[in-house]
Amino acid sequence: MIAIKCGTIVWRDGSASGPGVALIDSGKIIDVGSDVPVPEGAEVVDASSCWVSPGIIEPHCHVCYDAGGFNEMSDPVTPEMQARDTFYPFSRWLPALRAGGITTICLLPGSANLIGGVGWTAKLRRGTVTSDFDVDAARPVKMALGDNPISAYSKRQGRLFCRMGNAALMRSALMEARAYMDDRESRPEMKPNMKWEALLPLLRGEVPARVHAHRADDMVMAVELAEEFGYRIILEHCDECWMVKDWLAAKKVPFCLGPLYTPGVKAEMRNISLACAGEMEEAGCFFALTTDGYWNVSCGPYMAGTLTAYGLSREYARRAITIHGAQILGIDTHTGSLEPGKDADIAIFTGDPLVNKSRCVATMVDGEFVYREEGF
Amino acid sequence: MQAFKCGYMIRPDGSVARDQTILVENGKILRLGADLAIPADAEVVDCRNQWISPGLIDPAAHLGYVKEPTAYDGELADCPETSDPIMPQFHVLEAFDPCNPSIQRVMQHGFTTVFCEPGGNGFGGASLLAGQGGCLKLRTSAVADRMYIAGTEQVCIELGDGPKMTFGMMKRPPYTRPGQLEMLRSAFDAARSGAQDRKSKVLMEALNGTKKVRITAQTPLDIANAIRLGSEYELSYLLEGLVQGYLVPELLSEANVPCIVEAMPYPTYSMQSIDLYGCHYENAASLEKAGLSFALSMREAEMTASLPIAAGRLTAYGLGEAAARRAITIRAAELLGISGRTGSLEAEKDADFAVFTGDPIDNTSCCTAVYIDGVREYLR
């Protein structure tokens, strides 16, 4: 049994108060609160001058591949790719992420392809083989609209020159997959096609699509396609969300917002705004925050904090890097908040995780420290 | 005349003074202090709940030459000119588009001056000797010359993976680090032997110390090569980048040259460059401990706006808060040779300052007003 004496505890609703105690046994949180006694014989971790937060969850990133990247640009439609197959357990980025308080990441294929492949959720346990990092979570289908497929294919391969091309090729792939699904049901003996097989969980409603859409028209196109083919959708990046605020709020589409601090790197990001997170909170939208990062995933907490200077509430910002990410990934029953019965995924900071002057001093995954600063 | 009453004011040494008044007249700071008599005709600006900082300075900005909105790969950038790896005659003023929206964005985060450096823009595209950069005040103007501070040119060299990638991809030399040094030596030697072409004229100014040289180097190997080049040609030079400087603090303090440290690690896509792989938050603190006084920078165009937050981030890993504030104001001005007129709040200097809701290096603060030469350029 481990007892963490906490100076301040970040709660599920994003509020923070303390002091308190968190009890951990066999990888799970047993109890947490201001009046929880430290049992005799428990190993005591003194974080009484620190903030104890749920482990940070990055729902959209491209980290820990070693060489070659995460875009299989042999074809714009590659649903059969698996992000899990590009994960390198010995990546030098992994220790940096753990040292930043990150406990769970979702790796997604890149956005060069209209259908890039299948994402993979991983817990940053200590491990040497990929299965050490596995989590029981749905594997979403990564899609991309907008500039990226166009710039990836127009010059190099002489195809996909505009958004019409994106929409048409995406629709044609989905129609083929749907026809395949119907065929497969009526003729189970038919030879399986790996490509369309990979889209069956999506069309059957078992996993969501996660669609790269920076511009408002791309967001609308993504939702229209999802409605046409009847699958669940989560939007990614959404720089222009503030321009279609009412539409997005009415559709109740969840989204991963960000990164919001790299304006202008491509045309589709030109209307990026630090103030949009606060506006979307006010409009009643549900979103998690993403760094879309490589090694810099570890900057997620304080980049979320930066948005509080432009209108996002601190409570929402804390939820957007923890429980909201867990909800997006469908693992919120196991992780994303400090509650009895949940996995002991915990990040300990010298102060509010949202503030750039705070530093992560220890990170715990499933009840084991995967990072502990010297002297803590 | 204007009187700014501020709750918190950042002093030249980076410390914070409470309840100060700054008197501004004709674009200059007239007087400042705690108990100043405010002349009856002065317009009082009430910032008693706010912080006033010297206008921020990025000494290695890549601003204004990457077209917006842009496409991938910086293909619309007006810099660097990679038809030749040695382009000392390239002047950044001819690439700087004063109407580029990124300039306003950077200014609105509290920046009043940047050194605009020709070179890579964060998506690669680094050149070897990209040309001359210089200082610009970020006042609103459609004419770059009206923003430019004359005589602030520095000749900008980059060593290492950046130029290797740029020219390697085009299958053109230099292919290796020794190849980079060889090209630079040939160019300097030609200038020294009296060549009268436009390149050699600029390089001669570098050789006789009229123009400073800055050399970007990230890894210990590149840092050592930069110092080698600097001492071989007795250049008056600065070192920039130094992401892996923590591996060679003694080399840097022995060289005793001014340094601009990249405030890495920070969110940016350019981290795919292997040179930047070995970056650590502790880098700046370990260089401070080695006795170096340095400025901080963000090398990417868009990231200059985030420099104050990045500087603050480094304080979580051991850099002193006052040193962090100095590194984006007065220390930068000193390295750029403009500390006589800007970079700190002192009498007779230009009235370049920014108003913040809190400490500028704290990420929960934001900039609410910017004054350049006493003119209000931004109000939130």
In this structure, which amino acid lies at residue A16? A
Q: What is the CA radius of gyration of chain A?
A: 21
CB contact under 8 A, A261 and B306: yes
pLDDT for the residue B303: 81
- Pick from B72, B150, B66: which is nearest to B103 by CA? B66
Mutate to test the interface with A, among B50, B72, B104 (most CBs of A within 10 A): B72
Q: From the list A92, A259, A359, which residue is nearest B316 (CB)? A: A359
Whether the CB of A208 is below 8 Å from some CB of chain B: the reply is no
Q: What is the mean pLDDT of chain B?
A: 92
Strand pairing report for A20-25 and A28-33 = antiparallel
pLDDT for the residue A216: 97
pLDDT, one tens digit per residue, over B173-217 is 999 999 999 999 999 999 999 999 999 999 999 999 999 999 999
- Counting one residue from A and one from B, how many pairs have CB atoms under 8 Å apart? 96
Mean pLDDT along residues B73-99: 88
Residue B346 has pLDDT above 70, yes or no: yes
Side-chain half-sphere CA neighbours of A40 within 13 A: 0
Chain A (245-264) residues lying within 8 Å, Cβ to Cβ, of chain B: 259, 261-264
Q: Please give the full DSSP string across A318-336, using - where no structure is assigned.
A: HHHTTHHHHHHHT-TTTSS
CB contact under 8 A, B70 and A265: yes
User: How far is residue B265 from each of residues A61, A304, B261, measured CA to CA in Å?
Assistant: 17, 17, 11
Q: Edge to edge, what strands does the sheet with B28-33 contain?
A: B28-33, B16-25, B2-10, B43-54, B353-356, B367-372, B375-379
Question: Contact A293/A62 with Cβ under 8 angstroms?
Answer: yes
Map residue B36 onto helix, strand or coil.
coil
pLDDT for the residue B345: 98
**Which residues of chain A neighbour B366 with C-beta distances below 8 Å?**
309-310
CB contact under 8 A, B364 and A293: no
Task: Provide the whole-model pTM.
Answer: 0.94
pLDDT, one tens digit per residue, over A103-133 is 999 999 999 999 999 999 999 999 999 999 9
Q: Which value, to the nearest 10 degrees, does the dihedral of the CA atoms of residues B174, B178, B180, B184 take?
A: -130
Which range is least confidently modeled, A14-18, B265-269, B375-379? B265-269
List of residues 6+ apart from B170 with CB closer than 8 A: B82
- Work out the pLDDT band at B8, boundaries 50, 70, 90: very high
In this structure, which amino acid lies at residue B22? I
pLDDT for the residue B162: 86
**For chain A, which ranges sit under pLDDT 70?**
66-67, 262-265
Q: Which residues in A123-135 are b (16+ Cβ under 10 Å) and which e? A: bbbebeeeeebeb
How many residues are there in chain B?
A: 380
Residue linked to tokens 């959720």 = A121
Residue of B nearest to A269 (CA): B69
Mutate to test the interface with A, among B309, B314, B357 (most CBs of A within 10 A): B309
Cα–Cα distance measured from residue B323 to residue B140, given in angstroms and rounded to the nearest whole number = 30
pLDDT for the residue B270: 42
Q: From the list B265, B277, B366, which residue is nearest A310 (CB)? A: B366
Q: Which residues in A83-113 are b (16+ Cβ under 10 Å) and which e? A: bbebbebebebbebbbbbbbbbbbbbbbbbb
pLDDT for the residue A264: 63
B223: left (phi over 0), alpha (psi -120 to 50) or beta: alpha
- Measured in whole angstroms, how far is the alpha carbon of residue A87 from the centre of its chain? 16
Cα–Cα distance measured from residue B282 to residue A359, given in angstroms and rounded to the nearest whole number = 12
CB contact under 8 A, B72 and A295: no
Residue of B nearest to A96 (CA): B280
Mutate to test the interface with B, among A356, A360, A371, A373 (most CBs of B within 10 A): A356
**Which residues of chain A neighbour B123 with C-beta distances below 8 Å?**
265
- Work out the pLDDT band at B101, boundaries 50, 70, 90: confident
Question: Contact B356/B365 with Cβ under 8 angstroms?
Answer: yes
Cα–Cα distance measured from residue A321 to residue A262, given in angstroms and rounded to the nearest whole number = 19
pLDDT, one tens digit per residue, over A189-219 is 999 999 999 999 999 999 999 999 999 999 9
Cα–Cα distance measured from residue A24 to residue A42, given in angstroms and rounded to the nearest whole number = 9
- Pick from A93, A356, A63, A97: which is nearest to B278 by CA? A93
CB contact under 8 A, A309 and B69: no
List of residues 6+ apart from B81 with CB closer than 8 A: B87, B90, B127, B130, B131
Q: Which residues in B141-171 are b (16+ Cβ under 10 Å) and which e? A: eeebeebbbeebbbbbbbbbbbbbbbbeeee
CB contact under 8 A, B66 and A264: yes
CB contact under 8 A, A264 and B70: yes
Residue B267 has pLDDT above 50, yes or no: no
pLDDT for the residue B298: 84
Residue B73 has pLDDT above 70, yes or no: no
pLDDT for the residue B272: 46
Residue B285 has pLDDT above 80, yes or no: yes
CB contact under 8 A, A266 and B366: no
- Work out the pLDDT band at B296, boundaries 50, 70, 90: very high
Residue B265 has pLDDT above 60, yes or no: no
Cα–Cα distance measured from residue B213 to residue A165, given in angstroms and rounded to the nearest whole number = 49
pLDDT for the residue B117: 94
List of residues 6+ apart from B57 with CB closer than 8 A: B111, B112, B113, B114, B115, B295, B328, B329, B332, B333, B336, B342, B343
Angle CA(A357)–CA(A358)–CA(A364) in degrees, nearest 5? 155
Mean pLDDT along residues B267-290: 70
